Amino acid sequence: MNDHRRLGRELGIFDTDPLIGAGFPYWLPAGAAVRKAVEDYVHELERRNGYQHVNSPVLGKRELYERSGHWAHYAEDMFPPMNVGGEEFVLRPSLCPHHALIYRSRPRSHRDLPLRVAELGGMYRSELSGVLGGLTRVRAVQLNDGHVFCPPERAAEEMSAALDLIEAAHAQLGIQAVRHRLSVRGEGAKFVDDPEMWARSEALLRDVLEGRGRAYDEERGEGAFYGPKIDIQIADPAGREVTLSTVQVDFYQPERFDLRYAGGDRPVMVHRSVVGSLERLVAQLIEVHGGAFPAWMAPVQAVVLPLSDAELPAAGDLLRRCLAAGLRAELAPADRGSLGARIRAHRLVPYQLVVGPREVAGGHASVRLRDGRQAGEVPVEQLAAECRPQF
């Protein structure tokens, strides 16, 4: 079984250090490459679907989270405040309060809506040490987050569009959902006490799921504190289930922040995360693909393999052309072992470019795929095109 905690370290994806602390993994070069490829893909997917990208601080005043409701309903999962100059600042547990402030930073009219904003941003959860593990449960989260501000009558349409994005991304990433879950409120002070608001929100989400012909399970007590959500559940090869992507409808925070658009009307806030946290996503990708990532996200997409030192100048020239074309490529010279040994060492690389005397004479390389098939002479530009995600 591909356990991401073992395989991720073996492949140089991530690691941890007690001096940094439990729950704070760091990305090694191969992991940073996978992460950047996923970031770029999702950023472009969102851009093509009408999202504007923003950046916001990982800190906010305690007052911000009191206003948003996090302090009253979520404080036990937050890091304690830091006193700076007599003011209390908190590491954010969520990006949505910041995006609410971005919305209200200037007047909005109905012509501005729907306003779709997205951000890959850091947030922090005060998880107990006993539940931390690898990349799946961490204290520092890089979340692919986004919020759509729209009139109430557009909320169902925008939530369905968000589910379209999630399904497209999962297909591109090679991930399959095992089920959809409608997560609703439970008992106690963790949830906002407004039964009418919850009933309205739940009805909207049910209509969206049923309108798409999507079967779902209902889970009490798994909703956000401010409203219900659709959770897209995935499973690792061992069958362990986690939530990856979510869609939520929120009437609560627009009221708390007094969000308006021209005419005094209040927008609805649709929360959605296309691929969830990058940490949990990459853990899943490691286990699903066993390190043999799709070519567009592979840490190294092409390796150049000269047969001997005599082909080294031509191999170096080929490497430079690969890099110029946008490929993540590296050179494995003959002094690193026999050709077979070097091929085995790079067995997870999608394209292995062998350069021998015949290839030098012809000014090309013989392309070998990682499954052992021979692809023949493939131009570098074609390889680069095959290493781009599809939209």
Q: How far apart are CA 377 and CA 22, in angstroms?
A: 48
The amino acid at residue 129 is S
Please enumerate in sequence order all residues whose Cβ is within 8 A of that of 164, keeping only pairs 6 or more positions apart, or say none. Answer: none
Q: Is the pLDDT of residue 345 over 90?
A: yes
Q: Is the pLDDT of residue 1 over 70?
A: no
Residues 346 and 330: beta-carbon distance below 8 Å: no
Please enumerate in sequence order all residues whose Cβ is within 8 A of that of 247, keeping only pairs 6 or more positions apart, or say none. Answer: 159, 162, 163, 166, 205, 208, 229, 230, 270, 271, 272
Residue 9, Cβ density class (10 Å: 0-12 exposed, 13-18 middle, ≥19 buried): middle
Give the three-class secondary structure for 138: coil
Residues 184 and 197: beta-carbon distance below 8 Å: no
Q: What is the pLDDT of residues 81-95, one digit of tens each?
A: 999 999 999 999 999
DSSP 65: H
pLDDT value at residue 299 = 97
Q: Is the pLDDT of residue 387 over 80?
A: yes
Q: What is the pLDDT of residues 248-287, one digit of tens each?
A: 999 999 999 999 999 889 999 999 999 999 999 999 999 9
CATH topology of domain 4-289: BirA Bifunctional Protein; domain 2 (3.30.930)
Q: What is the pLDDT of residues 201-213, one digit of tens each?
A: 999 999 999 999 9
Find the Cα–Cα–Cα–Cα dihedral 276, 280, 281, 282, rounded to 10°.
150
Residue whose structure tokens are 């390190």: 291
Please enumerate in sequence order all residues whose Cβ is within 8 A of that of 257, keeping only pairs 6 or more positions apart, or say none. Answer: 67, 68, 97, 100, 101, 103, 104
Domain 302-386 matching CATH 3.40.50.800: the answer reads yes
Q: Is the pLDDT of residue 240 over 90?
A: no
Q: What is the pLDDT of residues 159-199, one digit of tens each?
A: 999 999 999 999 999 998 899 999 999 887 789 999 999 99
- What is the DSSP pairing of strand 351-355 with strand 366-369? antiparallel
pLDDT value at residue 263 = 82
Please enumerate in sequence order all residues whose Cβ is within 8 A of that of 178, keeping only pairs 6 or more positions apart, or say none. Answer: 233, 234, 235, 241
Q: Where in the chain is the domain with CATH 3.40.50.800?
A: 302-386
Q: Which residues of 209-227 are buried (b: 16+ CB within 10 A; e: fewer)?
A: beeeeeebeebeebbbbbb
Q: Where in the chain is the domain with CATH 3.30.930.10?
A: 4-289
Residues 303 and 332: beta-carbon distance below 8 Å: yes
Report the mean per-residue pLDDT for the chain: 94
Task: Work out the average pLDDT over 379-387.
Answer: 93
Please enumerate in sequence order all residues whose Cβ is within 8 A of that of 273, keeping only pairs 6 or more positions apart, or say none. Answer: 143, 144, 145, 146, 245, 246
pLDDT value at residue 346 = 96
pLDDT value at residue 271 = 97
Q: The pTM is what?
A: 0.94
Q: How far apart are CA 65 and CA 59, in angstroms?
A: 10
